[in-house]
Structure 1
Amino acid sequence: MTLKFARHRRLRTTAALRSMVRENHVHVNDLIYPLFFVEGTNKKNEIPSMPGVYQFSLDRLGEELDEIVSLGIKSVLVFGIPEHKDDCGSEAYADTGIVQKGIRVIKERYPELVVIADTCLCEYTDHGHCGVVHDGYVDNDESLELLIKTAVSQAKAGADIIAPSNMMDGFVAAIRAGLDEAGFQNIPVMSYAVKYSSAYYGPFRDAANSAPQFGDRKTYQMDPANAREGLREAASDVEEGADFLIVKPGIAFMDMLYRLRETFHLPMVAYNVSAEYSMVKAASANGWINEREIVMETMLGFKRAGADLIITYHAKDIAKWLREGGY
């Protein structure tokens, strides 16, 4: 009997052949590694819910930067935990704020490292919300004024990219105008264009001490049930001058990465968030999964869905695995 059918397996017979026809690849240049700064001295505090991720005081930051650069990672996303919090998050835009000081430390040691500044107020407010609160509600337009001040202060400190994550309406337009007026026309805006109100952020709130003290963030972060809304949000950000678009969380919303990739032609960023990281670490610690294979499959999934860049707490491990080859 002669059967005619496609022999797809011909291209899978050896590792070399599989490598030749591989459609997507993960490169170290794709990776953005988050960093957390704290006030004080001689601090390297491991985050209990995020094994292998630390808060660093600025005098200990150099050891982390040395490792990051030695691994070939080109970019970091920076967050700060201040000693003082108030109702308007004043430490977010202070010239002596923890993030501003941290950016200067990075730029003094490694000026070529791309520093992305997360621009939000939640870590700096005593109520834990991402803006100014009146009668239990976050005031959109009043919050924009403080976010502009924060972005400009971060740019003055040496940030290469401003990444607003607050999800106020008009935040890209406001920050773009503020940066331009302050003389920072060449500083790009990496917008958290599609950011869902998600349970996947739990460990991050431990890391950044940013949990809301009342209510939740559902009036400004997006409903996880909605996709068309995400396209509207992203379209607004593109019109307002965004240079990059972030989808957050990454794994649960790869469909949005794909939708945005098919719709817009800006660089696309997947945020592989804290719980996505922590679940892998927990399962690996119990011997339930192969951590390396799971992580690399996830990264390839992001690339296949359309991500150009990936923010991930796995970045240092991935950089080491890439040196060993196979991806």
Structure 2
Amino acid sequence: MGFPEIRPRRLRTTPAMRRLVAETRLAPSDLILPMFVREGASEVVPIASMPGVVQHTMETLRKASVEAVEAGVGGLMIYGIPTSKDATGSGGIDPDGILNRAIREVVSEVGHDTVVMADLCLDEFTSHGHCGVLAADGSVDNDATLALYAEMALAQASAGVHVVAPSGMMDGQVGFVRSALDAAGRTDVSLLAYSAKYASAFFGPFREAVESSLTGDRKAYQQDPANGREAIREVLLDVEEGADMVMVKPALGYLDVIARVSDVVDVPVAAYNVSGEHAMIEAAAANGWIDRERAIHEALTSIKRAGADIVLTYWATELAQTLR
């Protein structure tokens, strides 16, 4: 008398029971590992604001790629850090630039066993730190930038990349890059669009990781964190222009956007667990305020639960080893 007839707690009684009825599961193949390679480096350079993450040498990049593949990680996303920059970001297009050399090295090492991706943006290579070339008034020239993105995509394709990932949030970037690849006969190269990339404070540590030259901000081309419907418009435009996959970035502060995007598209949805999100968990764990391993697993599970099929995270290899 008076006791509930329905008892949901029965399905939480033991670890085995909880595992049996789990609605969301992380698998190593869901994860993409972002990797930084520094031109001219003779040893790894730790990134202070991102504990556990480094700027690689070419040799350690290869070794880390092998480790990730052996752990079952689904793919690798490569970022290059050049020794010199210019106003047009020409180092990102140069076949012998650090990013394209790194693509060739990683593809040679593990290209048959994983998906090799590369960031397609000029910000690491421009002296002003913006994602495109500048007009006379100092604003980013959208259409002039598209031509450079096309060149960059072709250079990455020639280096052997499997997936190009335009991240600059220029209008029309997906269609322009897709057309350029197809016209060159590179219909085999896939396109992961950074479709809903927000002008976020959580990108801060990444700027250290790539030694960004940016002064000011990118609010004129990245999305306003206040807007959700705008993300849907951006995503649908990218799919229409030929995106094979779409991305929401950051992830944890935008779980609602991930959910809305996954409801409206029929292509895989990626989400980027960004540098600031990584740094917050690592800092809290270092202070003994949270259980690090549980927090990592919970954070990434929440991203998957929200609707992401693919999660980019700096913990990819570590988590994949744990999951296996």
TM-score of the alignment, normalized to the shorter chain, above 0.5: yes
Larger CA deviation: 83-92 vs 39-48: 39-48
Contact in 1 for aligned 2:65/2:76 (Cα 8 Å): no
Contact in 2 for aligned 1:75/1:114 (Cα 8 Å): yes
* Letter paired with 2:150: I
1:166 equivalent among 165, 168, 171: 168
Corresponding residue of 1:27: 27
Mapped to 1, the partners of 2:81 and 2:4 lie a distance apart of 64
- Deviation, 1:15, is 1.6
Contact in 1 for aligned 2:127/2:213 (Cα 8 Å): no
Contact in 2 for aligned 1:71/1:320 (Cα 8 Å): yes
2:317 is the alignment partner of 1:321 = no
Larger CA deviation: 313-322 vs 138-147: 313-322
User: TM (normalized to structure 2)?
Assistant: 0.97
Corresponding residue of 1:84: 84
Corresponding residue of 2:120: 119
Mapped to 1, the partners of 2:4 and 2:80 lie a distance apart of 62
Q: Report matched runs for 1:291-306 at 5 Å.
A: 291-306=292-307
Mapped to 1, the partners of 2:3 and 2:43 lie a distance apart of 68
Mapped to 1, the partners of 2:262 and 2:174 lie a distance apart of 19
Residues 125 and 9 from structure 1, CA distance in 2 versus in 1: closer, same or farther, beyond 3 angstroms? same
Mapped to 2, the partners of 1:268 and 1:25 lie a distance apart of 16
* Letter paired with 1:227: G
Mapped to 1, the partners of 2:259 and 2:26 lie a distance apart of 17
- Deviation, 1:111, is 2.1
Corresponding residue of 2:188: 186
Residues 211 and 294 from structure 1, CA distance in 2 versus in 1: closer, same or farther, beyond 3 angstroms? farther
Residues 82 and 4 from structure 1, CA distance in 2 versus in 1: closer, same or farther, beyond 3 angstroms? closer
Mapped to 2, the partners of 1:228 and 1:210 lie a distance apart of 30
Q: Report matched runs for 1:53-202 at 5 Å.
A: 53-112=53-112, 113-134=114-135, 135-202=137-204
Larger CA deviation: 297-306 vs 204-213: 204-213
Counting matched residue pairs gives 322
User: TM (normalized to structure 1)?
Assistant: 0.96
Consecutive unaligned residues in structure 1, runs of 5 or more = none
Mapped to 2, the partners of 1:155 and 1:274 lie a distance apart of 27
Mapped to 2, the partners of 1:300 and 1:294 lie a distance apart of 10
Mapped to 2, the partners of 1:253 and 1:212 lie a distance apart of 24
Seq. identity, %: 45
Consecutive unaligned residues in structure 2, runs of 5 or more = none
SS of match in other structure, 1:168: coil
SS of match in other structure, 1:145: helix
RMSD: 1.1
Contact in 1 for aligned 2:126/2:213 (Cα 8 Å): no
Contact in 1 for aligned 2:31/2:311 (Cα 8 Å): yes
- Deviation, 1:5, is 3.4
Q: Deviations over 1:78-113 (max 9, x none)?
A: 000111210000001111011110011111111222
